[in-house]
């Protein structure tokens, strides 16, 4: 399974970074790991990523408390050439074993009009001469429709149209995602409910969509470590997670557990934003259920198999 992980850590690059990355990378590790908005100019701080198996690390230091990008990869699992780098992006030429070459742009769009315009001008120039499949992943600090915002003030339709025009001009298409829709938890503005937006996403050109027909994006649950949800871009997955996702069902046994009330209070942000609360609850309860009750369905299946064996032997 070949996939790329992108996470806006929002400056949270201290002692807890490695611990949270180990949770993020639980199981097969992403071949390419991207950390955005690191707000750090200490390049050596990210040498700790080598303990996760990444032997090559490129760091774009932040400018004061603004920006900062890190991209790390394992050369045993993917071949990567850095074609261009800037304070807002890395353009990478990538190739997984037995997979065609593709271009990958990882970015963090600095939320200032001049920086935003320069970034999109660069992407437009690249799009006019690109000869490979191309995907762009990152925090764009923009939304494409009013449905990508919950709470806060009304969305700026002119700004959304500008963002959609830039995507179209570059010949890119939103890959969509599975998991929580909103990828950023914003502040609570006086007189408004808390703001949630879909700022992080992956785009691709038509060549990428034709080449990697099974590619998709998964949004992981947000943790207290960052106000952004991590993204996983599956490029050449051999097990399509979309087909194995089971429908969510509330289990009555949860309410009888002593710690359920504490869990609910910790994962429900208040009376506002019912849709977001339900989405976040569904993402978090799966891990809590596994930790507290274990794999109930597997235990049930094992017990039924044993019971069936006993019944057979006694008949």
pLDDT the model gives residue 310 = 52
Query: What is the maximum alpha-carbon separation in the chain?
Result: 80
**Does pLDDT of 114 surpass 60?**
yes
pLDDT the model gives residue 86 = 95
Q: What are phi and psi of 44, to 5 degrees?
A: -70, -20
pLDDT band at 85 (very low <50, low <70, confident <90, very high): very high
pLDDT the model gives residue 247 = 56
pLDDT the model gives residue 297 = 57
Cβ neighbours of residue 259 closer than 8 Å, sequence gap 6 or more: 292
How far is it, in rounded angstroms, from Cα 90 to Cα 115? 15
Which residues in the chain are classed under CATH 3.60.10.10? 3-244
Cβ neighbours of residue 69 closer than 8 Å, sequence gap 6 or more: 34, 35, 36, 38, 59, 60, 87, 88, 89, 90, 106, 107, 108
pLDDT the model gives residue 312 = 46
In this predicted structure, which of 5-14, 237-246, 305-314 has the lowest mean pLDDT? 237-246
pLDDT the model gives residue 243 = 43
pLDDT band at 240 (very low <50, low <70, confident <90, very high): very low
- Rg (Cα) of the chain, in Å, rounded? 21
For the residues 83-101, what does the mean pLDDT come to?
A: 95
pLDDT the model gives residue 242 = 46
* Exposure letters 183-196 (e unless 16+ CB within 10 A, then b): bbbbeeeeeebbbb
For the residues 229-245, what does the mean pLDDT come to?
A: 68
Q: Tell me which residue of 63, 66, 72, 67 sits closest to 34, measured CA to CA.
A: 72
pLDDT the model gives residue 294 = 66
pLDDT the model gives residue 244 = 42
In this predicted structure, which of 63-72, 106-115, 129-138 has the lowest mean pLDDT? 63-72
In this predicted structure, which of 21-25, 37-41, 104-108 has the lowest mean pLDDT? 21-25
What is the token pair recorded at 282? 């569904």
Does residue 253 contact residue 26 with C-beta atoms inside 8 Å? no
Architecture label for domain 3-244: 4-Layer Sandwich (3.60)
Alpha carbon of residue 190 to chain centroid: 29
**Does pLDDT of 277 surpass 80?**
no
Burial status of residue 208 (CB atoms within 10 A of its CB: 0-12, 13-18, 19 or more): buried
């Amino acid at each position: 399974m070949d996939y790329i992980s992108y996470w806006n850590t929002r400056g949270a690059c201290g002692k807890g970074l490695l611990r949270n990355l180990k949770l993020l990378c639980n199981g097969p590790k992403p071949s390419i790991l991207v950390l955005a908005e690191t707000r750090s100019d200490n390049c050596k701080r990210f040498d700790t990523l080598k303990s996760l198996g990444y032997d090559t690390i490129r760091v774009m230091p932040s400018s004061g408390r603004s920006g900062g990008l890190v991209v790390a990869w394992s050369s045993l699992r993917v071949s990567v050439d850095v074609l261009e780098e800037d304070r807002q992006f890395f353009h990478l030429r990538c190739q997984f074993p037995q997979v065609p070459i593709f271009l990958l742009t990882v970015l963090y769009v600095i939320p200032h009009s001049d920086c935003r315009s320069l970034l999109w001008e660069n992407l437009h120039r690249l799009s006019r001469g690109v000869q490979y499949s191309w995907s762009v992943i990152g925090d764009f600090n923009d939304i494409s429709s009013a449905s990508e915002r919950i709470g806060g003030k009304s969305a700026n339709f002119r700004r959304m149209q500008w963002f959609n025009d830039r995507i179209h001009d570059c010949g890119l298409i939103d890959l969509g995602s599975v998991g929580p829709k909103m990828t950023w938890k914003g502040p609570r503005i006086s007189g408004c409910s808390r703001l949630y937006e879909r700022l992080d996403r992956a785009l691709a050109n038509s060549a990428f969509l034709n080449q990697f027909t099974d590619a998709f994006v998964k949004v992981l649950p947000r943790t207290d470590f960052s106000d952004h949800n991590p993204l996983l871009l599956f490029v050449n997955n051999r097990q399509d997670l979309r087909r194995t996702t089971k429908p969510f069902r509330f289990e009555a046994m949860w309410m009888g557990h002593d710690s359920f009330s504490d869990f609910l209070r910790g994962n429900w942000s208040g009376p506002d934003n019912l849709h977001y609360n339900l989405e976040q609850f569904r993402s978090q309860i799966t891990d809590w259920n596994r930790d507290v009750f274990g794999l109930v369905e597997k235990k049930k299946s094992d017990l039924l198999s044993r019971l069936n064996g006993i019944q057979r032997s006694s008949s």
